[in-house]
A and B are shown apart, each in its own frame.
Chain A
Amino acid sequence: DAGITQSPRYKITETGRQVTLMCHQTWSHSYMFWYRQDLGHGLRLIYYSAAADITDKGEVPDGYVVSRSKTENFPLTLESATRSQTSVYFCASNNRRLNTEAFFGQGTRLTVV
């Protein structure tokens, strides 16, 4: 199906475990983003990517790793999950032009116990 999809939708993991959240888009958008959403903080940018093999840190990158070997995929890895990383994670994409709409996935609700 066309669009931007995230998997899994829900994940429970234990402290210290590595977990990867997947994001796939079918529009060939250049830019992809990972945000986390927490009560009282809105959406905060974790990492973003301007193209395949080009990634950069956002506002809250500590504890996260990203890669982008293909334009359509942008996985986010928590190397050693902590309780403070319990959140809802959103992947988004848009194209090169300024002021264009960001398209969001449905989110992954991650709980670290």
Chain B
Amino acid sequence: TQLLEQSPQFLSIQEGENLTVYCNSSSVFSSLQWYRQEPGEGPVLLVTVVTGGEVKKLKRLTFQFGDARKDSSLHITAAQPGDTGLYLCAGAMVKAAGNKLTFGGGTRVLVKP
């Protein structure tokens, strides 16, 4: 059982549609990060959310951190083929030693033209 559960595991949509990816846990995190990974590459940070209830926007991407800092969501508006990739959430535990991140299982997004 993973500490961070992402859903759905796979999402296939048409260009122009909206999508939401969820990241849920029973644990409290000091911060939560979202990464995007393309084939053959390492994950690259999209955003870090720190405050409960925080909402951050990055162009067509909207990230939300739950009030209790246990969950987060990523919403993409008017998805484009360039948004295709593996989206990973990662949480830093409140009392974690060593700046450790715990990753969710990932959501694979495919945006078809």
Tell me the A residues contacting B by CB distance below 8 Å. Answer: 31, 33, 35, 40-45, 48, 50, 56, 58, 90, 92, 94, 96, 98-102, 104-107
Contacts and interface: CB of A to CB of B under 8 A. Distances in A.
Interface in B40-88: 40-45, 48, 50, 88
B113 interface: no
Given A50-B98, A98-B92, 10 more contacts: A33-B101, A42-B104, A48-B98, A58-B100, A99-B31, A99-B48, A100-B48, A101-B45, A102-B101, A104-B44
B40 A43 contact: no
Given A41-B105, A42-B105, A99-B31, A104 B43 contact: yes
Interface residues of B, number: 28
Nearest to B107: A42
A13 to B, nearest CB: 20
Contacts of A50: 98-99
B43 to A, nearest CB: 5
Given A31-B98, A40-B105, A41-B105, A98 B30 contact: yes
A43 B48 CA distance: 18
Contacts of A43: 43, 88, 90, 103
A104 B105 contact: no
Contacts of B100: 33, 45, 48, 58
Contacts of A58: 100
